[in-house]
Amino acid sequence: MKILIFSYLFPNKNFPYCGIFNHSRAKALKRAGCDVEVIAPINLSPYMINIFPKFRLSETIKLFRKMITIQNIEIVDGIKVHHPKYWKLPDKLFWKNYSDIMHFFIGRQIEKIVEDFLPDLILSTWLNPYASYSEFFKKKFQIINFALAEGSDLLIHPYLFRGWEKVEEKINKNCELIIAVSNSMKNHIEKRTNFKNVEVIRNGFDNDLFKYSNKMKISKEKKVKVISVGNFYTVKGHDILLEAFKLLKIPMELTLVGSGPELKKCKEYVIQNGLENNVKFAGEIPHHKLPAILSQHDIFCLPSRSEGFPAAPLEAMGCGLPVVSSNVGDMEEVIVESFNGFLFKSESVVDLANKLILASQINWDSKEISDWAVRNFSWGKWADNIIEKFESLSIERLDKVYL
């Protein structure tokens, strides 16, 4: 079986942490016996935060150089990844036409890749423009399309920009299945959209990579080490976590892993509030090096304003860390309070600070946390579910042909 993953969220040489969950998905599908390729388009347009309200020339040039020097084709763990490059127009004006704009710039390149690979299934992760691009796949190829709703693409973007009805219509017409990564996301889809054929397939984590390694338990005599992994976007809530750290009266150290448009603002906040001795910015870290970093910490924090079903807290649990998370997405089904972490009220700085203090006072059973995560979540299970859904739909197609 051949599967093509279509999404901008995929690691490359210059952005090794981008969309690492899609990298894990691709590896799991390959381990399950599938032939996998990836189309991960590169947007050459500058971040709006670097243009408005103040033009940041050096940041814009640096980002453009990183984008333009990404190779057109990379081989990542034996998986061919294509990086066609295009220019994106401002979302506030052109969001509903995003897939059409992408097709104008790189449609022929995408078509050639599909013709050469001839996949049985296209997995588009991120609803617009990737799942909505299924319109062009259907015009040229009779290939089954699955759309994966990841989080912000469903929970935030449709309310920020105009044209959701057009995007929704394209996806409904051309995608055989809409995959929600959590029950809460499926509930949102059913209440707030007209999507059909929606099913839940939860994300997992790479339990071969993220595993317990006899980590020392928290000692009250040392500074408790907290870590958060995620790129710096407003939705990820780094500002909430930094404000909570400002309130703490006990010795804690925070490591922030990732990069992104909000990174500079967070660094400025740390300096302005005298947190330099308590907060470290680790930058981007290759996925395979994360387990060693996680195992040097005591608590993982997910301060997000919105999530689908994030892999990062599962990876942390795989390494034996308890998780303090906002009560977003399906985290209520992941966090068993006082066993593997605590939930705090989303966007509540005070509640987050209190839960971090509470988590620092518990002698967590790291081995049991890891074993629980492995028992309940894996990318292998996710891949099996994807293949099963595809085979079921393929049989339905054949039945319709012969009937």
Confidence of residue 59 (pLDDT cuts 50, 70, 90): confident
Q: DSSP letter string over 233-260?
A: -GGG-HHHHHHHHHH--S-EEEEEE--S
| pLDDT at residue 215, as a whole number | 53
Same domain, 136 and 234: no
Same domain, 287 and 308: yes
Which has more confidence, 21 or 241? 241
* Mean pLDDT of all residues in 153-166: 93
Same domain, 182 and 262: no
Is residue 57 included in any domain, yes or no? yes
Is residue 210 included in any domain, yes or no? no
Is residue 212 included in any domain, yes or no? no
Is residue 124 included in any domain, yes or no? yes
pTM: 0.78
Same domain, 395 and 363: no
Is residue 49 included in any domain, yes or no? yes
Same domain, 383 and 369: no
Q: Find the range with the poorest average confidence among 121-135, 208-222, 236-250.
A: 208-222
Is residue 340 included in any domain, yes or no? yes
Side-chain half-sphere CA neighbours of 227 within 13 A: 24
Is residue 214 included in any domain, yes or no? no
Same domain, 199 and 237: no
* Mean pLDDT of all residues in 195-214: 91
Question: Which domain covers residue 246, as residue numbers?
Answer: 224-376
Question: How far apart are the C-alpha atoms of 228 and 239, rounded to whole Å?
Answer: 12
Is residue 181 included in any domain, yes or no? yes
Nearest to 323 by CA among 367, 364, 287: 364
Question: How far apart are the C-alpha atoms of 374 and 210, rounded to whole Å?
Answer: 10
Asked whether residue 399 carries a pLDDT value surpassing 50, the answer given is yes
Same domain, 156 and 304: no
Question: How far apart are the C-alpha atoms of 376 and 205, rounded to whole Å?
Answer: 10
Question: How far apart are the C-alpha atoms of 296 and 282, rounded to whole Å?
Answer: 13
What is the total count of domains within the chain? 2
CATH number of the domain within which 101 lies: 3.40.50.2000
* Mean pLDDT of all residues in 180-187: 88
Question: How far apart are the C-alpha atoms of 279 and 282, rounded to whole Å?
Answer: 10
Question: How far apart are the C-alpha atoms of 393 and 381, rounded to whole Å?
Answer: 19
Same domain, 200 and 285: no
pLDDT digits (tens, 9 = 90+) for 214-232: 754 444 447 899 999 999 9
| pLDDT at residue 219, as a whole number | 47
Q: Is the dihedral of CA 140, 164, 151, 302 positive or negative?
A: positive
Q: DSSP letter string over 381-398?
A: HHHHHHHHHHHHHHHHHH
Side-chain half-sphere CA neighbours of 283 within 13 A: 4
* Mean pLDDT of all residues in 1-24: 92
| pLDDT at residue 322, as a whole number | 98
Same domain, 315 and 345: yes
Q: Which residues pair with 343 in a beta bridge?
A: 325
Same domain, 169 and 55: yes
- Cα–chain-centroid distance for residue 63? 21
Same domain, 329 and 349: yes
Return the structure tokens found at 266: 């967070």
Nearest to 141 by CA among 168, 117, 177, 166: 117
Same domain, 370 and 387: no
